[in-house]
Amino acid sequence: MRPRRALLAALPFALGLAAGPAAAQKTLYVVPHADLRILDPLQAAATITTMHASNIYDELFAWDVNLQPKPQMVGDYNVSSDKLTYTMTLRPGLKWHDGTAVTSKDVVASVDRWMKRDRVGKKLAEVLASLSATDDKTFVIKLKQPYSWVEYSLGNHASNYPAIMREKEAKIDPMTPVTETIGSGPYKFSKEEWKPGAEVVYLKNTDYVPRSDPPDAMAGAKLVKVDKMVWKIIPDPQTAANALVRGEIDLIDSPSGDVVPMLEKNPDIVVQKIPPVGGFGAIRPNALHPPFNDARARQALALLVPQEDFMQAAFGEKKWWNNCYSFLVCKSIYGTEVGSETYRKADPARAKKLMADAGYKGEKIIISSSKEIASIAAQAEVLAGGLRNIGVNAEIEWADWGTTLTRWLTNKNPPGQSGGWHIFATGNSWSTWHNPLTNVGIILNPEGSWAGWPSDAEAEKLRTEFIQATDQPTRMAILDKLHRRLWEIVPYIVTGQYDQPYAWRKTVTGVLPTSKLALWNIDKQ
């Protein structure tokens, strides 16, 4: 499912071209939505880490613009008539950044490591009989039972990116971060030029052989049309917008709503959405500790303020957002809103009573957030205001994005003790949250649940039945039951759905429609 470097943010970037051969080089300057802190995609499912990983690593399958899996590193493959055996062959020309060939042993080790850590991978592992390499280019997946999500899982862009790594890195324990960054993807990571909090540099992989298919979101040909890509970390939205206007950068990933109107008026700037279906805002309570270990306190959060308040604060004009009461993303294939009927109108009085019924007695409620991602910070402010309005002693604790994300994902301490927290507000992409298989927010078992760590046996049973179903009518019938149960236990609260605008100079071409920003196929004049 973004105070630092004020001097960097305030100064313009020197974009003068050097004399001689270097003058012909083309560099794309991008302001990403957050700073890159975690390099190993198995250590975080954060979008910024996924974007980084998809630049330097490749994957066996990849999702197209409609989230359908297409072969990526895989060339030919076939499935047995009983749907239990998948025989796959790597396509020709795959090389690591060190010049050696990618082999099926690398694949087997990488998939095995991924399945031990990733939630989607763990579901695949449950039905896996064996995974083996039969020669340097061929590997075989054998299942215990038919499973409809094999290709979909291997192209996962919803949680931990299933990067194919060299065998020696892939054999590192999945709980231990991989620090080497040699992949086989379209870009090479220039680790020696990396300046955390300031700059991330990628170089074109001139040995990369793209697929012959047309570029299609994360699938198809990954065509790198620049020699170098530099991510400039500029936390202040206005500073980033000014840099775009002056031509000091080429593209802003997810500009904040308060600068979008100014950018739209500039004839040299393109402002538009790129995902076909919008993402959504969410409040995630900590279900391990009072008061939000009680479903009534979580229900109260859904009644505090209208969704409009969250969306206007985070994304501005109404054209960029709409109301949504689906845990699985409105306008998507599984975007039902059944069970939400009593939560579609804010009711502060009812929210106050529910908090009291859950045992709240005036203790401080800690909201964990970061000002580095403007939309998240805005929602945290609205959340704090709504809680204070019903007499809750709410306080926002701000930190940099990397610290905040780590706190959410790993800190299970009681709130107020050693970094423990009660709630956070966040944003999520439709690709991650549209499907019960990939939606980490509704994984409700003690071993696998995401930050906040809710647990509910009934909902988890229904989710498992949905995943194991082999036909769509059966899935849809199960989905209605699951969604009604989710509105009873409220693992998170949807704050609305939004179309995140992106902004780039008109000299930039080739930005692909995709669920998460793809940084290949982009060219600049």
Q: What is the pLDDT of residues 432-446, one digit of tens each?
A: 899 999 999 999 998
CATH code, 209: 3.40.190.10
Range of the domain at 141: 26-231+506-524
Mean pLDDT, to the nearest integer, of 305-321? 94
pLDDT class of 158 with cuts at 50, 70, 90: confident
Residue 197 covered by a domain: yes
CATH code, 284: 3.10.105.10
Residues 491 and 513 in one domain: no
Provide the domain count of the chain. Answer: 2
Query: What share of the chain in percent tops pLDDT 70?
Result: 96
Residue 2 has pLDDT above 70, yes or no: no
Residue 249 covered by a domain: no
Close Cβ partners of 409 (under 8 Å, ≥ 6 residues apart): 44, 450, 451
Query: What share of the chain in percent tops pLDDT 90?
Result: 87
Residue 81 covered by a domain: yes
What is the chain's mean pLDDT, rounded?
A: 93
pLDDT class of 256 with cuts at 50, 70, 90: confident
Residues 184 and 90 in one domain: yes
Q: Contact, 234 vs 8, CB < 8 A?
A: yes
Residue 236 covered by a domain: no
Residues 519 and 469 in one domain: no
Residues 330 and 457 in one domain: yes
Residues 346 and 220 in one domain: no
What gap in Å lies between CA 309 and CA 321, rounded to an integer? 11
Residues 204 and 321 in one domain: no
Burial 396-419 (b: 16+ CB within 10 A, else e): bbebbbbebbbbbeebeeebbeeb
Largest CA distance in the chain: 73
Residue 107 has pLDDT above 70, yes or no: yes
Mean pLDDT, to the nearest integer, of 264-285? 95
Residue 200 has pLDDT above 90, yes or no: yes
Could you give phi then psi for residue 347, rounded to 5 degrees?
-145, 80
Residue 262 covered by a domain: no
Residues 48 and 192 in one domain: yes
The pLDDT value given to residue 6: 36
Residues 213 and 297 in one domain: no
Residues 389 and 513 in one domain: no
Residue 267 covered by a domain: no
**CA 296 to each of CA 32, 106, 278, 350, 382: distance values in angstroms, whole numbers, following the listed order:** 38, 48, 29, 10, 20
Burial 40-76 (b: 16+ CB within 10 A, else e): bbbbbbbbbbbbbbbbbbbbbbbbbbebebbbbbbbe
Residue 248 has pLDDT above 70, yes or no: yes
The pLDDT value given to residue 23: 52
Residue 362 has pLDDT above 80, yes or no: yes
The pLDDT value given to residue 265: 97
Residue 137 has pLDDT above 90, yes or no: yes
Residue 4 has pLDDT above 50, yes or no: no
pTM: predicted TM-score of the whole model, two decimal places: 0.85
Q: Identify any residues that bridge with 270 across adjacent strands, giving them in sequence order.
A: 504
Residues 64 and 204 in one domain: yes
What gap in Å lies between CA 328 and CA 432, rounded to an integer? 9
Residue 21 covered by a domain: no
Residue 246 covered by a domain: no
